[in-house]
Amino acid sequence: MSAKETKLPYGTISGKKLIMHFSAYDMDLPVIAAGIRERMDVLKEIDVAFAGFGTEVPEKMTDQSPATVKCFFEYVGSGSDSDNILKRVYHLIWGGMIQEFPDLEEWASAKADLSNLTIAQSEIIRARRGE
**What CATH number corresponds to the domain at position 37?**
3.30.70
Residue 109 is predicted with a pLDDT of 81
Torsion sign over Cα 83, 88, 94, 97 = negative
Q: Which domain holds residue 111?
A: 103-131
Distance of alpha carbon 42 from alpha carbon 81, whole angstroms: 17
Q: In terms of domains, do 77 and 110 share one? A: no
The reply to whether 93 and 111 lie within a common domain is no
Q: How many CB atoms lie within 10 A of CB 25?
A: 12
For residues 12 and 66, membership in a common domain is answered with: yes
What is the number of structural domains in the chain?
Answer: 2
Per-residue model confidence as pLDDT tens for the chain (131 residues): 455 899 999 999 999 999 999 887 777 788 888 889 989 999 999 999 999 998 877 777 666 777 789 999 999 999 778 999 999 999 999 988 888 777 667 777 877 888 888 888 888 888 888 86
Cα(94)–Cα(75) distance, integer angstroms = 18
pTM of the predicted model over 0.85: no
One domain, residues 38 and 20: yes
The whole-number pLDDT of residue 99 equals 82
40 and 22 fall within a common domain: yes
Task: Report yes or no: 64 and 88 within 8 Å, Cβ to Cβ.
Answer: no
Alpha carbons 66 and 63: distance in angstroms, whole number:
6
62 and 77 co-located in one domain: yes
Is residue 18 domain-shared with residue 77, that is, in the same domain? yes
92 and 119 share a domain?
no
Residue 3: per-residue pLDDT: 56
